[in-house]
Chain A
């Protein structure tokens, strides 16, 4: 046997005979045994859960109004079926504005779902237009489940916007077969990526990356110093084995202890995941070598310290210190990145009078300040909000945008974004003046901006608005309850009717008064919804529930003209953009599909783009479109001269290609491209020449970050970066869902090479081990 294999084998024997190993193994076993009964079960249910309520307060208000005979017929019908005690509570609320627990509302609604006579044609006159409801209404022998389904659909219709349309699917968390908590509003397919990319990495990071790692460092710390005991080392060195090999074998032998622990736990987790959750993810097993590698980083420090001081306590202390330094450098860098690096990445852009106006990740509107060569925040420092739009109406110089609290994956409670209208000043003459004027020192908190000529706070957007779309000199709001058109004239009328008492406006116009629903009552779509206008027409192409629908405008309403099933799961998030007569449907992480809108047939796929997630599109006035994937790559697709020609996406050679965050076409057909966080370049129509560049000046803080903090971070070993590798390994490409809603596409994608931490930390390990071997060779022992 080769001597170094003998050392490795001896380390294995030493680990197996270690009591600490068995204590840890017992600990892992206990965790796995405790975890094993935890499972998920998916059921078809139409019961109401608290997470279904978008706006519980509004719903309670509507029910309270119904108790007084006000509100719609449907709302009154639902109220009639609530239990008497809750009806009294609602009546009280009307008088006293008493708070009612959401749980009480949910429980009462669920009782109402079992009432056989909830439906009446008078209360829901349009219900029979929907095929699904008509079948249920006409069925005289409905099962309990079917009755619940019908009633839930009726409740959804009665309270649009306040309650989320039921998907019929709910997932329960069960322990030993017992359900607990409210059902999760996701399917198992949707939950799986969260488990694989979120929950498992977290469990592994905490259990293995932190706790087990610290235990392993303490347990293995004496292994190298023990080797130096007089009478032990000299005998080893007298054998035909080089010092370096002896050291490296001992070092790898120390890793065996960790390998056994990590292997045991992760193999257990793999079987738990497969047997209880149905997630057979081999990535879990691939994480075993990654965690061993992670330990090797720390152990290389411990081993070198052991060689120098030959004391296990110093090994543990200095290794913990190294850990602390790595952690601190990471935190400082993260902090600096957030607060020193300046405004976060640009996510949306419009062009007005040759000046870019952008929205960033924080939901701030930024104007380019040419004299200062920097971006200036417009209309207050807003953080953590999602900005819908902005959309610019070049005719009247109005810029529309919506602001909403953003919670990822559709988990937000209040889905009613505020609408803001900006009257753009003469940007080209003095772009910053307008913004400065907006924030006078004596700014009032509840300022009435209707009177302001610069920033108007319009009423809320329709509940559940997920996106706004430019349309006919105004815009459309896409909601699960239909498409609403923003009627500027109605706003003007409402302004005239407004009553002022003691200088205060008593009532703002209701949302319904300015947002006109222009879809038919049989509208039956739910989030995620994506749409794009068909160039040269008032028609739109819409993707939802796995199908593409063409809506034509008849002067009053948008009518579904034709549709095609796209062989996509209904919850798929997709983007759609129209080039001439072709709609390009870009499902999340799938190759874009081309559909001929005239014939409503699929004509092919854009294989040149491949399986990408398209997060943003832009239409040019000449018919071209630009599409941008979540990895920052931009393609431009020209409108083919002949309908028979296939679409040919081209990735132009642009500055920042691969790091592009958004783009826009201006009226002249020039392409404005935002890249590398906050730089913008303007490209001529042929995309050959950059006509203008916007490069914000670097602030002192940015210099500090770029030339001090970042370089130090780069050379510092980064064991925590291995979390990216683990997430990559656990993410099953077949089950990858990076988004549950279209808003999720704007979540900044951390585009990082999953193997980069391996080689960067590998270099660190190699340096440490080489230093150790050199030291050992030089040492007189």
Chain B
């Protein structure tokens, strides 16, 4: 599954396993990660997908050094995962971020900046830009306990970017945001990408991942089930035989049905223009047809002198890929 390239890697995980052991007397063992290997190239926006309990958060915790792996190797920015050197270059936005109640937006930014070994002067130089970027300008002196979830999330993103890290690990960054907020986050991520930063994104929102990410990994039951660009995933995880084709033609359904040589399973229906009717305009749909079948159908219709107005070949979505992978893993 892992890519093999000479490009510098931001994240390099090889055969990583993590097993939780619980209970003092009766020990229960719960494997959270099983031999996970993945590589994230520097400068790419990488999406990590998976259902709840797939092991995504465990993987992020291992990358940050919050959890000690049971087996395997994890490197971040060519440093051992969890090492101080690696953590210096990481900006992290956790899921459900909670700020200490005594902070204002500004003091929280300063606190996390100082934790990232920044001087107050360096923080001061960055603060206005960041508050503008996450649309918290004018609200930075309010107590964070009065912030909405979306505001806290944006403040969290600001603190993650504050020390200009090489790698951003974002756990559900758009969670709780309205469509406008999500759009702003996407803009921010685009800018980060343009600046060559690596973004490791963990999200449930597949459309968002599809829009932002260069590459995606899908996890299920602690294992990596798929990795690659979205096209690669679709190609490798959808069956071409199951693709369908739709044609809009200038002919009535009766005329089409009389054309000799039409393949079996062709559905023909009249296209209705809001009850006004337009005699002679129909839609032909055919499931499970390959390219040669499409070519043959076009030839037959043209020999019958039927004009083809539009041909649409239905493409599988990431969601479909995701459902296929997860469904297959569960079964």
Given the interface contacts A231-B98, A780-B20, does A238 sit within 8 Å of B111 by beta carbon? no
The distance from the CB of B54 to the nearest CB of chain A, in whole angstroms, is 18
**B253 interface residue per 8 A CB criterion:** no
Stretch at the interface among A12-20, A520-528, A594-602: A12-20
- In-complex Cβ contact of A3 among B61, B94, B114 (8 A): B114
Could you tell me if A237 and B102 are in contact, using CB atoms closer than 8 angstroms? Answer: no
The distance from the CB of B105 to the nearest CB of chain A, in whole angstroms, is 14
Q: How far is the CA of A653 from the CA of B98 in the complex (A)?
A: 69
- In-complex Cβ contact of A239 among B67, B85, B115 (8 A): B115
Q: How far is the CA of A239 from the CA of B118 in the complex (A)?
A: 11
- In-complex Cβ contact of A781 among B67, B112, B114, B159 (8 A): B67
| Most B C-beta atoms less than 10 A away, residue of A230, A232, A240 | A240
Q: Chain A residues near B107 (CB, 8 Å)?
A: 13
Q: How far is the CA of A237 from the CA of B90 in the complex (A)?
A: 11
**B92 interface residue per 8 A CB criterion:** yes
- In-complex Cβ contact of B102 among A2, A9, A18, A235 (8 A): A18
**B87 interface residue per 8 A CB criterion:** yes
**B204 interface residue per 8 A CB criterion:** no
Q: Chain A residues near B20 (CB, 8 Å)?
A: 780
Q: How far is the CA of A226 from the CA of B156 in the complex (A)?
A: 18
Q: Chain B residues near A17 (CB, 8 Å)?
A: 102
Q: Chain B residues near A6 (CB, 8 Å)?
A: 111, 114-115
Residue of B nearest to A17 (CB): B102
The distance from the CB of B47 to the nearest CB of chain A, in whole angstroms, is 20
**A1 interface residue per 8 A CB criterion:** yes
Q: Chain A residues near B88 (CB, 8 Å)?
A: 240
**A112 interface residue per 8 A CB criterion:** no
Q: Chain A residues near B96 (CB, 8 Å)?
A: 230-231
Could you tell me if B117 and A240 are in contact, using CB atoms closer than 8 angstroms? Answer: yes
Could you tell me if A14 and B100 are in contact, using CB atoms closer than 8 angstroms? Answer: yes
**B1 interface residue per 8 A CB criterion:** no
Q: Chain B residues near A229 (CB, 8 Å)?
A: 98
- In-complex Cβ contact of A231 among B68, B87, B90, B95 (8 A): B95
Q: Chain B residues near A242 (CB, 8 Å)?
A: 84
Chain A 480-495 near chain B by CB (<8 Å), digits 1 or 0: 0000000000000000
The distance from the CB of A499 to the nearest CB of chain B, in whole angstroms, is 87
**B97 interface residue per 8 A CB criterion:** yes
Quick one: which of A228-252 are within 8 Å of B by CB? 229-232, 234-242
Q: How far is the CA of A608 from the CA of B76 in the complex (A)?
A: 70
Residue of A nearest to B107 (CB): A13
Could you tell me if B102 and A13 are in contact, using CB atoms closer than 8 angstroms? Answer: yes
Residue of B nearest to A241 (CB): B115
Q: How far is the CA of A413 from the CA of B317 in the complex (A)?
A: 102
Given the interface contacts A238-B66, A240-B84, A240-B87, does A226 sit within 8 Å of B115 by beta carbon? no
Residue of B nearest to A230 (CB): B96
**B243 interface residue per 8 A CB criterion:** no
Could you tell me if B117 and A232 are in contact, using CB atoms closer than 8 angstroms? Answer: no
Q: Chain B residues near A241 (CB, 8 Å)?
A: 84, 115
The distance from the CB of A23 to the nearest CB of chain B, in whole angstroms, is 16
Could you tell me if B116 and A240 are in contact, using CB atoms closer than 8 angstroms? Answer: yes
**A538 interface residue per 8 A CB criterion:** no
Given the interface contacts A1-B117, A237-B64, A239-B87, does A10 sit within 8 Å of B97 by beta carbon? no
**B119 interface residue per 8 A CB criterion:** yes
Q: Chain A residues near B87 (CB, 8 Å)?
A: 238-240
Residue of A nearest to B99 (CB): A232
The distance from the CB of A406 to the nearest CB of chain B, in whole angstroms, is 57
Quick one: which of A295-327 are within 8 Å of B by CB? none
Q: How far is the CA of A240 from the CA of B111 in the complex (A)?
A: 13
Could you tell me if B116 and A234 are in contact, using CB atoms closer than 8 angstroms? Answer: no
**A78 interface residue per 8 A CB criterion:** no
Residue of B nearest to A229 (CB): B98
Q: Chain A residues near B67 (CB, 8 Å)?
A: 780-781
**B65 interface residue per 8 A CB criterion:** yes
Q: Chain A residues near B111 (CB, 8 Å)?
A: 6, 10
**B120 interface residue per 8 A CB criterion:** yes
Q: Chain A residues near B99 (CB, 8 Å)?
A: 232
Quick one: which of B77-133 are within 8 Å of A by CB? 84-85, 87-88, 90, 92, 94-100, 102, 107, 111-112, 114-120
Given the interface contacts A234-B61, A235-B94, does A1 sit within 8 Å of B119 by beta carbon? yes
Residue of B nearest to A236 (CB): B115
Could you tell me if B100 and A10 are in contact, using CB atoms closer than 8 angstroms? Answer: yes
Q: How far is the CA of A200 from the CA of B159 in the complex (A)?
A: 49
Q: How far is the CA of A17 from the CA of B100 in the complex (A)?
A: 12
Q: How far is the CA of A395 from the CA of B168 in the complex (A)?
A: 101
Residue of B nearest to A227 (CB): B100
Residue of A nearest to B58 (CB): A780
**A349 interface residue per 8 A CB criterion:** no
Residue of B nearest to A4 (CB): B115
Given the interface contacts A1-B114, A239-B116, does A231 sit within 8 Å of B94 by beta carbon? yes
**A7 interface residue per 8 A CB criterion:** yes
- In-complex Cβ contact of B66 among A5, A13, A781 (8 A): A781
Could you tell me if B68 and A1 are in contact, using CB atoms closer than 8 angstroms? Answer: no
Could you tell me if A235 and B92 are in contact, using CB atoms closer than 8 angstroms? Answer: yes
The distance from the CB of A312 to the nearest CB of chain B, in whole angstroms, is 14
Residue of A nearest to B116 (CB): A239
Q: How far is the CA of A238 from the CA of B170 in the complex (A)?
A: 12
Residue of B nearest to A777 (CB): B68
The distance from the CB of B222 to the nearest CB of chain A, in whole angstroms, is 15
- In-complex Cβ contact of A780 among B68, B84, B92, B98 (8 A): B68
Residue of A nearest to B60 (CB): A234
Given the interface contacts A231-B98, A238-B92, does A3 sit within 8 Å of B65 by beta carbon? no
The distance from the CB of A775 to the nearest CB of chain B, in whole angstroms, is 14
Q: Chain B residues near A238 (CB, 8 Å)?
A: 64-66, 87, 90, 92, 94, 169
The distance from the CB of B147 to the nearest CB of chain A, in whole angstroms, is 14
Residue of A nearest to B82 (CB): A237
Q: Chain A residues near B97 (CB, 8 Å)?
A: 231-232, 235
Could you tell me if B112 and A239 are in contact, using CB atoms closer than 8 angstroms? Answer: yes
The distance from the CB of B260 to the nearest CB of chain A, in whole angstroms, is 67
Could you tell me if B92 and A234 are in contact, using CB atoms closer than 8 angstroms? Answer: yes
Q: Chain A residues near B117 (CB, 8 Å)?
A: 1-3, 240
The distance from the CB of A241 to the nearest CB of chain B, in whole angstroms, is 6
Residue of A nearest to B18 (CB): A780
Q: Chain A residues near B119 (CB, 8 Å)?
A: 1
Chain B 194-209 near chain A by CB (<8 Å), digits 1 or 0: 0000000000000000
Could you tell me if A14 and B102 are in contact, using CB atoms closer than 8 angstroms? Answer: yes
| Most B C-beta atoms less than 10 A away, residue of A10, A14, A230, A235 | A235
Q: How far is the CA of A241 from the CA of B115 in the complex (A)?
A: 8
Given the interface contacts A13-B107, A240-B88, does A234 sit within 8 Å of B115 by beta carbon? no
Given the interface contacts A13-B107, A18-B102, A781-B67, does A7 sit within 8 Å of B94 by beta carbon? no
Q: How far is the CA of A179 from the CA of B285 in the complex (A)?
A: 110
Given the interface contacts A1-B114, A239-B116, does A232 sit within 8 Å of B90 by beta carbon? no
Q: How far is the CA of A5 from the CA of B116 in the complex (A)?
A: 12
Q: Chain A residues near B84 (CB, 8 Å)?
A: 240-242
Q: How far is the CA of A9 from the CA of B123 in the complex (A)?
A: 16
The distance from the CB of B228 to the nearest CB of chain A, in whole angstroms, is 28
Residue of A nearest to B110 (CB): A6
| Most B C-beta atoms less than 10 A away, residue of A7, A231, A238, A240 | A238
- In-complex Cβ contact of A232 among B92, B100, B169 (8 A): B100
Q: How far is the CA of A1 from the CA of B107 in the complex (A)?
A: 15
Q: Chain A residues near B65 (CB, 8 Å)?
A: 237-238
14 residue pairs from A and B, CB less than 8 Å apart: A1-B118, A5-B114, A6-B114, A229-B98, A232-B98, A232-B100, A235-B92, A236-B115, A238-B92, A239-B112, A240-B84, A240-B117, A241-B115, A780-B67
Contacts A6-B114, A240-B87 known; list 11 others, CB within 8 Å: A1-B118, A1-B119, A2-B117, A3-B117, A18-B102, A230-B94, A230-B98, A232-B98, A235-B156, A241-B115, A780-B67
Complex A-B, nearest 4 residue pairs according to Cβ-Cβ distance, in ascending order: A6-B114, A238-B92, A239-B115, A231-B96
